[in-house]
């Protein structure tokens, strides 16, 4: 069935390093993808989104890459800071008038000072 | 802060009881989606409301029901609570219906069923 999955459940990096969080999706009809950050005890926080007609989008310190050929999504965080420590989720919309987002299980990012 | 608020923050109920959770959407947003997030999992879509009507539903039984009011605030009602209903319940508001738009999440309501 349709699913969104993550390659790495945990990622530990040093402060100042760049982080890359990966996500695989299985529904080739998905046309919209979002990355969310969720800190302990809080709701998911929107980071960046990308539509299927793009392969790259940049925000402040973050870049999302979309490879539709292999159905892969990644989030790159530049100069990772301790405040970036959280669980990161990718989510997909399966296209058309589909009303819901399908979330992956999440990757825990830990930034060591 | 997203401007989406939820109440209560925490709630403890007994199996078989009923619960109502509330959500106020971000100003100007006419769509509210509800999600259930079990511990250690990603959010699971329950349903979405657009201009007071249900716009879509996930794989949840009928004892999960909802309402959206003219001011676009929303309620999630769960009847006949089961232990597995223990989770964080999130609402998210957006400017348009469907999933292909930015959805802004509230802080969630932590429901514990004993």
| Digit-coded pLDDT (tens) for A9-59 | 899 999 999 999 999 987 888 889 999 999 988 999 999 999 999 999 999
Distance (Å) of CA B101 to CA A7, B27, B31, B50, B93:
25, 16, 10, 13, 10
Are A32 and B107 a contacting pair at CB < 8 A?
A: no
Chain B nearest C-alpha distance from A39 (Å): 10
Q: Is A13 an 8 Å CB contact of chain B?
A: no
Helix (H) or strand (E) holding A91: strand A86-93
Are A44 and B40 a contacting pair at CB < 8 A?
A: no
**Chain pair A-B, CB pairs under 8 angstroms:** 73
Phi then psi dihedrals of residue A96, to 5 deg = 60, -135
Q: What is the mean pLDDT of residues A66-81?
A: 96
What pLDDT, on a 0 to 100 scale, did the predictor assign at position A12? 95
Are A34 and B48 a contacting pair at CB < 8 A?
A: no
Neighbouring C-alpha atoms within 13 Å toward the C-beta of A61: 12
What pLDDT, on a 0 to 100 scale, did the predictor assign at position A98? 63
Q: Which residues of B touch A104 (CB under 8 A)?
A: 42
Q: Which residues of B touch A105 (CB under 8 A)?
A: 40-42
What pLDDT, on a 0 to 100 scale, did the predictor assign at position A6? 44
Q: A3 or B108: which carries more pLDDT confidence?
A: B108
Chain B nearest C-alpha distance from A73 (Å): 16
* Smallest CA–CA distance from B38 into chain A, residue: A105
CA pair distance B12, B64, nearest whole angstrom: 17
Q: Which of A32, A36, A45 sits opposite B99 (nearest CB)?
A: A32
User: Per residue of chain B (114 residues), what is the pLDDT tens digit?
Assistant: 678 999 999 999 999 999 999 999 988 888 999 999 998 889 999 999 988 999 889 999 999 999 999 999 999 999 999 999 999 999 999 887 666 678 899 999 999 999
Both structure tokens of B71: 């001011």
Q: Is A61 an 8 Å CB contact of chain B?
A: no
What pLDDT, on a 0 to 100 scale, did the predictor assign at position A1? 36
Confidence of residue A7 (pLDDT cuts 50, 70, 90): very low
* Smallest CA–CA distance from B50 into chain A, residue: A99
Are B42 and A46 a contacting pair at CB < 8 A?
A: no
């Amino acid at each position: 069935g349709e699913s969104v999955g993550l390659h790495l459940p945990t990622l530990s990096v040093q402060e100042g390093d760049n982080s890359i969080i990966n996500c695989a999706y299985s529904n080739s009809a998905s046309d919209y993808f979002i990355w969310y950050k969720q800190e302990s005890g809080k709701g998911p926080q929107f980071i960046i989104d990308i539509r299927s007609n793009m392969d790259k989008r940049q925000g402040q310190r973050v870049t999302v890459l979309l490879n539709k050929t292999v159905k892969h999504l990644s989030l790159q965080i530049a100069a990772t800071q301790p405040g970036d420590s959280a669980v990161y989720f990718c989510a997909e919309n399966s296209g058309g008038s589909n009303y819901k987002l399908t979330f992956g299980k999440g990757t825990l990012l830990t930034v060591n000072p | 802060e997203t401007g989406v608020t939820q109440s209560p923050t925490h709630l403890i109920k007994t199996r078989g009881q009923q619960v109502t959770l509330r959500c106020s959407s971000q100003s100007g947003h006419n769509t509210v989606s509800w999600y259930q997030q079990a511990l250690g999992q990603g959010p699971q879509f329950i349903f979405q409301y657009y201009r007071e009507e249900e716009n879509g539903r996930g794989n949840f039984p009928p004892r999960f029901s909802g309402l959206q009011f003219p001011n676009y605030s929303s309620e999630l009602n769960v009847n006949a609570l089961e232990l597995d209903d223990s989770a964080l319940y999130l609402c998210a508001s957006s400017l348009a219906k469907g999933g292909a738009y930015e959805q802004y999440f509230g802080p969630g309501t932590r429901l514990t069923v004993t």
